[in-house]
């Protein structure tokens, strides 16, 4: 993996796929100027993939959702972390600990993975990552 690794969140995947998304252009620019250049190792989770498929289907259609999934799963550049019972347990602890925040369980899964691997940056648009001390790109 590269020196710098970035976690890719659902919002980034949706923005890249949905031309009507408010972040579409900025997501494309970030991808083309940073991710395509190989400046980062890329990582996401099976939960993010699940969320992304569901949102892409709802926003732009089933065909686009399936095409997206096939493209992502065949990528040699992106590592998809499968969620273990230990990750779920740690995420549930965070979910409970931060009951004053409106974090989703998937957010907590992402936080646990990022902490365990030592990732500090996320490609996405969700302010919850900033609340947990991560840097949001772009």
Mean pLDDT across 36-51? 93
pLDDT at residue 10 greater than cutoff 80: yes
Q: Who contacts 127 (Cβ-Cβ below 8 Å, separation ≥6)?
A: 136
Domain assignment of residue 106, given as a range: 5-137
Mean pLDDT rounded to a whole number for the chain: 96
**Residue 95 gets which letter from DSSP?**
H
Q: What is the pLDDT of residue 1?
A: 44
pLDDT above 90 as % of the chain: 94
Mean pLDDT across 18-30? 98
CATH code for the domain of 61: 3.40.50.1010
Q: What is the pLDDT of residue 19?
A: 98
Q: What is the pLDDT of residue 38?
A: 82
- Total domains in the chain come to 1
Q: Tokens 């923005």 belong to which residue? A: 15
- Burial (CB count <10 Å: 0-12, 13-18, 19+), residue 73: exposed
Report how far residue 55's alpha carbon sits from residue 111's, in angstroms, rounded to the nearest whole number.
21
């Amino acid at each position: 993996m590269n020196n710098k690794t970035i976690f890719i969140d659902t919002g980034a995947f949706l923005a890249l796929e949905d031309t009507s998304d408010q972040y579409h252009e900025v997501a494309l620019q970030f991808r083309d100027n940073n991710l395509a250049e190989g400046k980062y190792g890329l990582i996401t989770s099976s939960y993010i993939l699940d969320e992304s498929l569901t949102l892409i289907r709802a926003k732009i259609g089933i065909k686009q959702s399936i095409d997206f999934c096939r493209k992502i799963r065949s990528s040699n550049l992106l590592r998809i972390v499968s969620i273990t019972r230990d990750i779920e347990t740690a995420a549930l602890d965070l979910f409970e600990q931060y009951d004053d925040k409106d974090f989703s369980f998937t957010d907590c899964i992402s936080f646990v993975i990022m902490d365990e691997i030592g990732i500090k940056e996320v490609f996405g648009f969700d302010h919850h990552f900033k609340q947990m001390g991560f840097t949001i790109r772009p």
